[in-house]
Amino acid sequence: MKKKLLMIVALSLGLSLSSCDLALPPIDSPTPASKENTRDTSSSSTTKEDVSDSSDTSASIDVSKTEATTSESKASKPSETGSASSSESLPTTTPKPTTKPGITTVPSKPQPDAEPTPKPGLEGIIDALDPNKNDKDRKGSKFNPYAIGEAAPFDGYETIFDPFRAEVVVQKVIRGKDALKMVKDASSINPAPDEGNEYLVAQVLVKITDSKNEEIVGVSPYFFSLAREDGRMYGDISLFRSVTPVLEPLRVGETSLAYITFQVAKDDENPYIVFLSRANRGLWFSTDPDYEGKLELSTAPSESRKLIIKDGKN
């Protein structure tokens, strides 16, 4: 009975449902495709989140790298700038101006030492070519010669050809007719002086005070020469027989008193007698009887002083 009732109800419900189906549109049930779309959407949203996370992470990494690079470049710039400035700009000694209220003072630059102004014209040329220009204060030079009767010390230890020490004195100077008579008395066949010239005879004394290896010094008339008043040298002369006595080789401690003969121009009033001009520019003696020397007089050997007194009678 109950079963019959249930069947009747079911049939009645089926009819009503069929009539409702005609009037109402069917309700779509979810399909697998929609499920897949849902999954895709969720996966895409997940991917977008992952991408956003990764992009944020990479951006943060890039920013950190950029900051690190910037800090490194900033740290390296001072050293590069410093090296460039040190290589390009060197320290200068130019003084900086000092500034005061209303006043600016610029210090003067240091000036180099002024060079001596050369002498103008011919005088300057002669001075530049003068080999004795640095010898003007030396006692015994052309500019400060020894006087007649003054003993001059000679030191040739540093020379090659004259390694000895000596004292040299020009005792007396004779020229003109008296000198010619002495030359003719030595030998009548001695020649007369050249035209415009005259003989000059000098009495000299040489004493050897020291010699390397105690060697004998070959003193000779050729140790002496005659120079013009302007410094030019006269030439040697030749005689058949020299005025005696003549210079001779000496040992240490020995002295030789002798005569030396020259020819001199008559208008050359005060020539110079030079001892060994090849050694340290030589010892120069004035022939002017009134010349007394510019510096202190040397002390002549006692022997030479006695000889001067003896010879003063002639």
Q: Give 255-281 pLDDT, tens digit per residue.
A: 999 999 999 999 999 999 999 999 988
Give the pLDDT score at 197: 97
Mean per-residue pLDDT over the chain, rounded: 72
pTM: 0.54
Identify the structural domains of the chain with CATH numbers, from first to last.
137-311 (2.60.40.1240)
Residue 259 forms beta bridges with which residues? 203
Question: How would residue 242 be classed by pLDDT, with cut points 50, 70 and 90?
Answer: very high
Among 19-23, 81-85, 131-135, 265-269, name the most confident range: 265-269
Question: How would residue 136 be classed by pLDDT, with cut points 50, 70 and 90?
Answer: confident
Task: Let me know: does 152 contact 168? Beta carbons within 8 Å.
Answer: yes
For residue range 203-238, list pLDDT tens digits in order.
Answer: 999 999 999 888 899 999 999 999 998 889 999 899
Rounded mean pLDDT, 122-138:
62
Q: Which of 95, 138, 140 is nearest to 285 (CA)?
A: 140
Question: How would residue 109 be classed by pLDDT, with cut points 50, 70 and 90?
Answer: low
157 by DSSP, 3-state: which? coil
**Percent with pLDDT over 70 in the chain:** 51
**Percent with pLDDT over 90 in the chain:** 45
Give the pLDDT score at 51: 40
Task: Let me know: does 141 contact 181? Beta carbons within 8 Å.
Answer: no
d(CA 185, CA 102): 96
Burial environment of residue 84 by CB neighbours within 10 A (0 to 12, 13 to 18, 19 or more):
exposed
With a cut of 60, say whether residue 42 has pLDDT above it: no
d(CA 262, CA 244): 14
For residue range 160-200, list pLDDT tens digits in order.
Answer: 999 999 999 999 999 999 999 999 999 999 999 999 999 99
